[in-house]
Amino acid sequence: MKKILFLLFSSLNILTFFSQELNCKVDVLSDAKVALSSTDKDIIDQMKIAMNDFMNNTKWTKDKFATEERINCVLQFQITGMPTPGTFTGTMQVQCSRPVFNSSYNTTLLNIADQDVTIPFQRNTVLLYTPNQFRDNLTSILAYYAYLILGMDYDSFSLKGGSAYFIEAQQIVTNAQSSGFPGWMSNETSKKNRYWIIDNAQQQLFEPLRECFYEYHRKGLDKLYENKVESKKAMYEALNKLSKIAVSRPSSVNVTNFVQSKTLEIKNLYFDASQQEKTDMVNLLKKLDPVNTSKYQEILN
């Protein structure tokens, strides 16, 4: 009897201390211009619940995560159209962050807007991810971003630590290419879709970005408490690695997403830097993302 009670207590402890990997806040909104019936609204409510359950209750890795270790992320689907009953089109904003060592600050790892999302969804639809199989577009999109988030998080803690999850995301792209849904193909008008984000991440040309990602976070942000001067130097040197990519692939989605997600962070860190340090950083950011020069200029103020 004692053995049974002990096993039961142990099981409860495991459930208490270990959980799934993602702590994902999901929201589904619709533009006022989209005419929705009460039935449509009910379906959207069900979609939100299904998305929330799928992201937060699926076991994505073999690793054990304590509750406080779950990766904080946000996924918001903004419905802008309903071409046919039960089919919703719009944009999906995806963000994730992770804590910085010895601080209460959370740094943004990923902040992207998927501009071309089409989701068929009916009442009582069950979302279930099956590796190496395309079941439906919503499941594939969510699983893709789950693995992208995991890859980014792991890459921020160890050099190329997220490789296995990027491979999973790329496999999802491959499986979805014959589906006919937008966002999965290389020959689409946009070079910022799901295909290109994960394809770039896997290419040798973009290895400096993964090196930058690791060094910026582990040698830079995570060391700020110990030595602010050396940490900021490490962050600059990490960002400078991206110059090679900027020359070969100017304005690539992977580089611009990363740099833009760090702009406010860098501005806050450099508020007390010397004018020369600020100028060097601004010139580097302009080179990496010339389209948003005016944003980076604000760091000089």
pLDDT means per 10 residues in the chain (301 residues)? 36 54 97 92 96 97 94 98 96 98 97 96 94 96 98 98 98 96 94 96 97 98 96 97 95 95 94 93 95 91 83
Please tell me the pTM assigned to this model: 0.92
Radius of gyration of the chain (CA): 21
Query: In the prediction, which pLDDT does 21 show?
Result: 96
Listed residue (254, 229, 226, 227) closest to 242, CA to CA: 254
Listed residue (98, 168, 97, 157) closest to 129, CA to CA: 168
C-alpha to C-alpha distance for 233 and 252, rounded to whole angstroms:
25
| Cβ(26)–Cβ(51) below 8 Å | yes
- Structure-token pair, residue 162: 């997220």
C-alpha to C-alpha distance for 3 and 6, rounded to whole angstroms:
5
Listed residue (107, 111, 209) closest to 155, CA to CA: 209
Query: In the prediction, which pLDDT does 18 show?
Result: 63
Query: Which sequence spans correspond to the domains of the chain?
Result: 19-194, 203-301
| Cβ(82)–Cβ(148) below 8 Å | no
Residues 6+ apart with CB under 8 A from 254: 197, 200, 201, 206, 209, 245
Residues 6+ apart with CB under 8 A from 275: 300
**Strands of 22-30's sheet in order across:** 22-30, 71-84, 87-99, 106-120
